Chains A and B, each alone.
Chain A
Amino acid sequence: MKIDRRKFLKLTGATGIGLGLSATDIFTKGTVEASSGHSRVSTAATRLAMVINIGKLKTDDDYQRIIDACHSIHNVPTIDNPKHEVKWIWTDTYKHSFPEQINEYHPEAFMKKRFPLLCNHCDHPPCVRVCPTKATFKRPDGIIQQDMHRCIGCRFCMAACPYGSRSFNWIDPRPHIKEKNTEYPPRTMGVVEKCTFCNERLERGEEPACVESSNGALVFGNLNDPESEVRKILNTHFTLRRKPSLGTMPSVFYVIGGEDYAG
Chain B
Amino acid sequence: MYNGGKIITGLIIFVALATFPFYANFGKTVELPSELEAEPDEMHLGNIPLVNMRSEHMKLLDQWRDEVVRGGKRFIEYDGDEYEKSLQNGCLGCHEKQEFCTKCHTYAGVKPYCWSCHFAEGEEGLL
Contacts and interface: CB of A to CB of B under 8 A. Distances in A.
Contacts of B116: 188
A174 B124 contact: yes
B32 to A, nearest CB: 28
B119 interface: yes
B117 A188 contact: yes
Interface stretch (B36-44, B45-53, B67-75): B67-75
| Interface size class of chain A, counting residues whose CB lies under 8 Å from the partner chain | 10 to 19
A25 interface: no
Contact of A180 (B70, B75, B117, B119): B119
B65 interface: yes
A190 B87 CA distance: 21
20 contacts: A137-B70, A139-B72, A141-B72, A147-B69, A147-B70, A148-B69, A149-B65, A174-B124, A180-B119, A182-B88, A182-B119, A183-B88, A183-B89, A183-B119, A185-B88, A185-B117, A185-B118, A186-B119, A199-B72, A203-B75
Given A149-B65, A188-B116, A182 B70 contact: no
A182 B72 CA distance: 20
Interface in A1-39: none
B121 interface: yes
Contacts of A145: 69-70
Given A182-B121, A203-B74, 9 more contacts: A145-B69, A147-B70, A148-B117, A174-B124, A182-B88, A182-B119, A183-B88, A185-B117, A203-B72
Interface residues of B, number: 15
Nearest to B120: A182
Contacts, number: 35
B40 to A, nearest CB: 31
Instruction: Give the 7 A-B residue pairs with the shortest CB-CB distance, closest first.
Output: A185-B117, A188-B116, A185-B118, A182-B119, A203-B74, A147-B69, A188-B117
A225 interface: no
Tell me the dominant secondary structure on chain A's binding face: loop
Contacts of B70: 137, 145, 147
A188 B113 CA distance: 10
Interface of B: 65, 69-70, 72, 74-75, 87-89, 116-119, 121, 124
Interface string A54-94: 00000000000000000000000000000000000000000
Interface in A177-225: 180, 182-183, 185-188, 199-200, 203-204
Contacts of B75: 203
A246 B82 CA distance: 44
A187 to B, nearest CB: 6
A186 B89 CA distance: 14
A148 B69 CA distance: 9
A204 B75 CA distance: 9
A145 B71 CA distance: 10
Nearest to B74: A203
A238 to B, nearest CB: 33
Contacts of B69: 145, 147-149
Nearest to A148: B117
B74 A200 contact: yes
B52 to A, nearest CB: 23
B111 to A, nearest CB: 14
B72 A187 contact: no
Contacts of A182: 88, 119, 121
